[in-house]
Structure 1
Amino acid sequence: MKKSKSWIRICVHLLLFFILGIHSSKFDVNPVTDDISRLAVLRQNIPKDYKIPVHYVSREEGGMCWVKLNVFYLEESLKDLAHKFGNISSNRKDISIFVQMLQELRLNLGSVEPIMYDFECHYREERWQTARYFDFVKDFLLAAQIREDSDDCEPPPCPTTSYTETTEAYLTGHEQSTLNQVVERSLLSLLFIPLLALVFLLVWKLRSRRNGEDLEQNPGEGGLFTGTEGTAPPLNAEISEKNKLNVIETV
């Protein structure tokens, strides 16, 4: 009886050892938390004012399906960001680690297309600066680690005007106002052309009037071949007079 009890105790201890050992290994080894430290390095290596495009659903609207709704587009966003760097860049290697993590997460989540389709009107497109972007990546990875998600998420009502349409309307209005400013400046520049022509015409008239007044004050300067020289008898008359004198002398 003593031997059987001792064996039972040994088996119980071994079973508890294996159970506690497995659970301790799960809690001690946390690759997501270890890799999150790389985000701080990426934030320092990428300029603060660099704008990174992101397509996402807010946490308030996504609810328990927030991870499923954002895993695909966040993966695509990180892929595009990784391609901005060279093949041997450390930034590209660090970003590729997160891309691989998101790929594995997406496979474990199963098909995410149906829930993405249900929340289609709630997606937003923005361009975030480096700090905000990597804060979003960090929050997403921590939420994915906790896995407080659900397979049945009811999307909230779609907004009357989608965020994308509002953004496009704003950009269109901004472009229109810029175009109006350009047209106004062009019209103002065109107004200077007739104004310059008018000034040139006035100057020309003033100069013409002054030249006319100078000619009236000095009329002799213009008639160089007038005066007493103009009353001289013609050459034929002189010859005829000489002939007459010769005839008289002969007689």
Structure 2
Amino acid sequence: MKRAHIWIRACVHILLFITLGVHSSKFDVNPVTDDISRLSVLRQNIPKDYKIPVHYVPKEEGGMCWVKLNVFYLEESLKGLAHKFGNISSNRKDISIFIQMFQELRLNMGSVEPIMYDFECHYREERWQTAWYFDFVKDFLIAAQNKEDSDDCDPSPCPTTPYTATTEGYLTDTGTLTDVVERSLLSLLFIPLIALIFLLVWKVRSCRNEEDLQQNPAEGGLFTGTEVTAPPLDAEISEKNMLNVIEIV
């Protein structure tokens, strides 16, 4: 009888272990982070200056609803990007994996239309370069993985002035500031370089002039040689008198 109870308890523990193990493994599997490393591959395969259209809400305006506000339009943006490549393209295959991720995320979030409608005035349309676009996608996936979202989000007041659309990309202000600084530094580097070139040219010309003066000192007589003096006035008078005497004879 005791053995029967022991076997029953053992079977119950085994069933509980299997059940809990299956459920824990099910919840631990996160499809969002399994293929994030493919983003770097896509960044390398797509030209850097390619402009990708995106419809989004900035993080500072979306708050805790940022993930829900961007999941639909990012999915649509990825679909549009995938259509730029052929059916057998590796880029299209990798992008399709992320599209599937976004679809699963959106379905797990439930209905996002009401929140999107509340934040309608905060959406922006821009065209981003490849690097900034995939940085934004990566930030989104990390936020979704960490469940940085909430069902209760109050939208901030709509902007009183329309935003200025840009084509530079994610983190536009930072990127623009960096470009300006880089250009300023480059221009500052050219100033001493140009001055050095002028100095070298002047030095070479000075050396050549000195060599010419040393090799041909007669040519410099106009400034440094002996001056050519006119004959004395008395000599001119004596020569005239001699000519007069010869004519008389």
**2:36 match: secondary structure:** helix
- The residue aligned with 1:24 is 25
Structure 2 unmatched ranges of 5 or more: 167-249
Supply the distance in 2 between the matched residues of 1:12 and 1:100 (Cα, whole angstroms).
37
Shift of 1:5: 4.8
Q: How does 1:1-251 map to 2 (within 5 A)?
A: 2-3=2-3, 4-5=5-6, 7-27=8-28, 29-163=29-163, 166-167=164-165
Shift of 1:9: 4.6
- RMSD across aligned positions (CA): 2.2
Shift of 1:10: 4.1
Give the number of equivalent residue pairs: 165
Shift of 1:145: 2.8
Shift of 1:13: 4.4
Alignment TM-score, normalising by the size of structure 1: 0.59
Supply the distance in 1 between the matched residues of 2:26 and 2:107 (Cα, whole angstroms).
23
Change (3 A) 1:41 1:167: closer
2:19 aligned partner, one-letter code: F
> Sequence identity of aligned pairs in percent?
77
- The residue aligned with 1:207 is none
Alignment TM-score, normalising by the size of structure 2: 0.59
Structure with larger Rg? 1
Supply the distance in 2 between the matched residues of 1:75 and 1:56 (Cα, whole angstroms).
11
1:58 aligned partner, one-letter code: P
Structure 1 unmatched ranges of 5 or more: 169-251
Supply the distance in 2 between the matched residues of 1:62 and 1:40 (Cα, whole angstroms).
26
Asked if 2 retains the 8 angstrom alpha-carbon contact of 1:42 and 1:91, the reply is: yes
Q: Which runs of 4+ in 1 moved over 4 A?
A: none
Asked if 1 retains the 8 angstrom alpha-carbon contact of 2:31 and 2:101, the reply is: no
Shift of 1:42: 0.5
Supply the distance in 2 between the matched residues of 1:45 and 1:88 (Cα, whole angstroms).
15
2:97 aligned partner, one-letter code: I
**2:49 match: secondary structure:** coil
Shift of 1:22: 2.7
More helix by share: 1
**1:61 match: secondary structure:** helix
1:11 aligned partner, one-letter code: V
Question: Once the two structures are superposed, what CA deviation does each residue of 1:12-59 show, in whole Å capped at 9, x if it has no partner?
Answer: 3431343134313532x4332222121111011011122212111112
